Amino acid sequence: MRTITILLASAIIATPVFAQQVVQRSSNPQGVQIQGNTEIKADQKSTAAVAVGEGNVAKNTAGAIKGGTQIQGNTKIKATQKNASAVAVGKNNAAANEAGQIGGK
């Protein structure tokens, strides 16, 4: 009984220290962690992404925060793409237009 009482008292004393930290975490271990305010304004027009073949990736990304990223402080992303095109042809090729992206591979 004494051990339980001491552990509970320690947990109550330590709680305010942890309550001061505000962190948004993803349930995914490769997720995004943000401390502060984040504002994203993105615009895309006439975009196209085409992947042909096996294991290819083609993507158009505007104003994104990708996994595995930690941001501290205020962040503003303003991204615009016009007439962007990403094309990947052939085995294991990748093509991407990534305006205003933070993180990722």
C-beta of residue 39 within 8 angstroms of C-beta of residue 75? yes
C-beta of residue 33 within 8 angstroms of C-beta of residue 24? yes
Q: What six digits make up the tokens of 2?
A: 């004494």
C-beta of residue 71 within 8 angstroms of C-beta of residue 50? no
For residue 34, report the phi and psi dihedrals to the nearest 5 degrees: -125, 130
Which tens digit of pLDDT belongs to each residue from 16-65? 333 334 444 545 566 788 888 889 899 989 989 999 989 999 998 888 88
Per DSSP bridges, beta strands 57-65 and 94-102 are parallel
C-beta of residue 32 within 8 angstroms of C-beta of residue 69? yes
User: What pTM value is reported for the model?
Assistant: 0.56
Which tens digit of pLDDT belongs to each residue from 58-76? 998 888 888 888 888 898 9
pLDDT above 70: residue 10 = no
